[in-house]
Structure 1
């Protein structure tokens, strides 16, 4: 692993040189910088939390990624680059990872970032008292003793992490996984400062209280309205930080957000469903559609709290068959998305798409199969199945929900639609308080297991409480398989058969971005953006 260590250090040196040029000349990548280095983007819903170990959604991760820095970061292409760690070593058995932290790294209050800060954060994530939705993430990473800690059989202090010294953080695994380092980029892996949490308790993430080690500090947060971050002068690489101020505006209406974008109030916003073709013609240098590692789905509550009808696999299969994905993608969305009959996003690195039979059927054939299955289960237009769909408020989600209600009506299912704020929906998901729920999963790292692990029995993201021992066995074996792809294919086939969900489409990032904003990771399928790497050029 010495080669990898040298490569990381070389990359760091390149970053430092670029930083000096940026700071001294007002140029970056040969481009003249604008005097205004502020950036404003639209966010659909309020941020549920800014606590790295409690966060479970993409919007929260975007902010946390800028307020905190994990061991590794990603560049604009989605490649791993040094973060809080300048390099790392791997033992010959690939069970011990040793990360070398930057001695110059500081918290935003000016105190040093140490290996103990990472130890505390990772133990906090696993601790059942924290009640993190991402606790099982450490188990997926194969970190030693995670399973027993989550189950309450061992204390958090037994987690396979330790501070060798102030700048050396060591992780022990129970089995080698080739994508372990990729997983450290996730926001839940960020260090947090124990003394700050001890002092402020639940209020530690408020402006003025929050202390991070990222390129930005939290200066203002008005829930439901806006969040503002300003550059952190104590960040180890502040000389190369691009943007000065980053503002997220909460705008629930996508059409209103587009109006404010066109008025110059917002630098980036999602394109409303169906408007991409027109906007691409009118604003060819601003309208963007690029693959993004997320899959949009409807979850079926198969837990004890779910409706009896959804415990019948024939009903779930019928509901999935009856969704006309082509209509949703081609008529409703029109932004480069792809119909989904499987769970893992098609652009995931190294992933081979499984051959799902439903994908080859005509919609007429799918509808006929849905009617047949529902009839077997005791439902028909004269004796319809009644279900409720819960979705978070958004015009695009509403259009899809209305379309699905029409599709299901054709096969004898009455669907009641109920919309709510994202926070309310996630609470319902966590408590299995729903029949069918709109959901989307965005990959935590660029490898198929980030999707497939969601439906393992012990996953804390398995909101429907689906459980299949054969599926769990496949995913367990995949962790140490030389070639996990055949196991992933089998896992996808089981999901398609058991239908704990109905995947609808796989994402493209469909957005408007001001042409003078450079450095946004348009070519990264993960879509992880770092404001420090973005900048505004002079017009």
Structure 2
């Protein structure tokens, strides 16, 4: 949960074999795979002419912890953020990285300096000019500790003197972010980073308006009147825990190509209730499909949309607290789970069992970098004998003396079913007591970030389409490392990947790092996922990237 801390447990993974061969030396990723739909008329590339009111309602199944792109890393916020804001770069319908606010950019010969040329006439949703200085302000704000930016490491890890600025030992003049003029932004990196353009697609790099934040403080995101943005839509209504209403932003640079006039995101936390609203025609789409209805809806061609996802469903294990600081204990947990049963009987989706946190889906020279890797001693079904042996070696023969395992999750129908099934597996296969608890996402995730958990439902959808989106999850001290796993050798390998410009060498180092952490059982992987949602066939023009971002800016209602 992107992710992002991860979004809710969605459908299982599409096989990586769907990736087409690539004859060049350029990396290829899962975003190149086409989405599958029940009806080709609903495909994102449809070119239906507008007919009638261009309005739609789409149901979300979790309430985000906030709508400030400079603060949150919560994937439940992404639907609003990516449709209300636009950074220097964005993704098009094919999953290709294209210019957003930046019309073009240049990179210096040494790979350190990126110069972005902004589009003419950029404006905020309130009609005031948007300039390069707004990007400078927004990045400085992320680097201000009081902002509490959850993705701050995505800036400090790349931009020159960003960490020093955050620490208070460098000034704005020292920071590698400069406005050369109103339409020219210069970013200087710590070292050459071949995938930095991909990183810039993350919403932490989106611009925010200084005037509205200075006038309203943290409350700027709480009201349509103060929620100033720059994307294809603007917020015109908010009702706590009920909905967020978006309307076309007439000041967006590409407003002429935005057909949808009104987009209502409605919060319905119960998936069955959401499905009833969908099947009755009350809403046009829902983001989460009840697992028990998935097969039926597919067979009925009821609008199931399936998109490739670069992500993994896994459970965090708090590696900093006993007895989970013992790799043998973590290994026992990983061995005791029957992944195939969870996929077939609980989630009830087509999925691939996962044995590592690093998802397949990224290729170099036409070959997925995870192809042929180890299974780390794990299997699709539970290996009870091996699990009990690992627990005994850890000092808990037949589960004796092992404390009650606390298994926590956020409120979601599918997650609840997964957790209840896992609890039974762990209890029966390891002869231990398991205590299950749940909470609203915001409270649950705060506990996870603070380390107030033992084993917790989680996972990751890549923030950008490169394996480096996964590696910081287990890097010592990284803000996204909520497992509190720490391994100096792993950290060193991640640093090498960050500095490696050769895609093949970077892939090799990536797999070395992933193998190291996976052999340490840094988390409890379950399956590699795809994204599925429901959409009525009178809606066309939407598209979803492999990082789970769902774009509505080209939607047509017919």
Regarding TM over 0.5, the answer is yes
Equivalences for residues 272-351 of structure 1 within 5 A: 272-283=290-301, 286-303=303-320, 306=321, 308-350=322-364, 351=368
Change (3 A) 1:267 1:348: farther
Out of 441, 458, 478, the position equivalent to 1:439 is 458
Q: 2:183 maps to which residue?
A: 167
SS of residue in 1 equivalent to 2:170 = coil
Aligned residues: 503
Out of 62, 65, 73, the position equivalent to 2:90 is 73
1:109 aligns with 2:109: no
Q: 1:263 maps to which residue?
A: 280
Contact 1:107–1:235 (CA<8 Å) still a contact in 2? yes
- How far apart are the structure 1 equivalents of 2:69 and 2:92? 21
Q: 2:409 maps to which residue?
A: 391
SS of residue in 1 equivalent to 2:447 = helix
Deviation by residue 1:418-469 (Cα, 9 ceiling, x = unmatched): 1110001111122111111111211111110101122111311111222111
Out of 459, 472, 490, the position equivalent to 1:453 is 472
Deviation by residue 1:163-192 (Cα, 9 ceiling, x = unmatched): 000010110011112211111111111001
Q: 2:548 maps to which residue?
A: 527
RMSD of the alignment, in Å? Answer: 1.8
SS of residue in 2 equivalent to 1:147 = helix
1:224 aligns with 2:245: no
Change (3 A) 1:30 1:496: closer
Q: 1:504 maps to which residue?
A: 526
Change (3 A) 1:391 1:30: closer
* 1:108 to partner: Cα distance: 1.1
* 1:293 to partner: Cα distance: 2.0
Q: Can you give the 5+ residue segments of structure 1 that lack an aligned partner in the other structure?
A: 1-27
- How far apart are the structure 1 equivalents of 2:432 and 2:526? 18
Deviation by residue 1:70-103 (Cα, 9 ceiling, x = unmatched): 0111112211122111111111111110111112
Change (3 A) 1:456 1:264: same
Q: 1:20 maps to which residue?
A: none
Q: 2:146 maps to which residue?
A: 129
* 1:363 to partner: Cα distance: 3.2
Greater share of helix: 1
* 1:493 to partner: Cα distance: 1.0
1:62 aligns with 2:83: no
Q: 1:11 maps to which residue?
A: none
SS of residue in 1 equivalent to 2:299 = helix
Out of 98, 103, 113, the position equivalent to 1:96 is 113
1:404 aligns with 2:425: no
- How far apart are the structure 2 equivalents of 1:119 and 1:466? 33
* 1:515 to partner: Cα distance: 1.1
Say which is worse superposed, 444-453 or 125-134, in terms of deviation: 125-134
Say which is worse superposed, 54-63 or 93-102, in terms of deviation: 54-63
- How far apart are the structure 2 equivalents of 1:413 and 1:158? 55
Q: 1:201 maps to which residue?
A: 217
Out of 409, 430, 449, the position equivalent to 1:430 is 449
* 1:479 to partner: Cα distance: 1.8
- How far apart are the structure 2 equivalents of 1:172 and 1:213? 24
Change (3 A) 1:340 1:41: same
* 1:301 to partner: Cα distance: 1.3
1:479 aligns with 2:498: yes
Deviation by residue 1:335-354 (Cα, 9 ceiling, x = unmatched): 22221111122123544216
- How far apart are the structure 1 equivalents of 2:311 and 2:375? 22
Q: Can you give the 5+ residue segments of structure 2 that lack an aligned partner in the other structure?
A: 1-44
Change (3 A) 1:158 1:362: same
1:240 aligns with 2:257: yes
| TM-score (norm: length of structure 2) | 0.87
Change (3 A) 1:322 1:153: farther
Out of 491, 503, 517, the position equivalent to 2:539 is 517
Deviation by residue 1:153-212 (Cα, 9 ceiling, x = unmatched): 334553211100001011001111221111111111100111111101111112111111
* 1:49 to partner: Cα distance: 0.9
Deviation by residue 1:475-512 (Cα, 9 ceiling, x = unmatched): 11112321211111111111112222111111111221
Equivalences for residues 460-471 of structure 1 within 5 A: 460-471=479-490
Out of 202, 214, 223, the position equivalent to 1:186 is 202
Out of 489, 493, 497, the position equivalent to 2:511 is 489
Deviation by residue 1:369-422 (Cα, 9 ceiling, x = unmatched): 110111122222444441111111011001110111111112123221111100
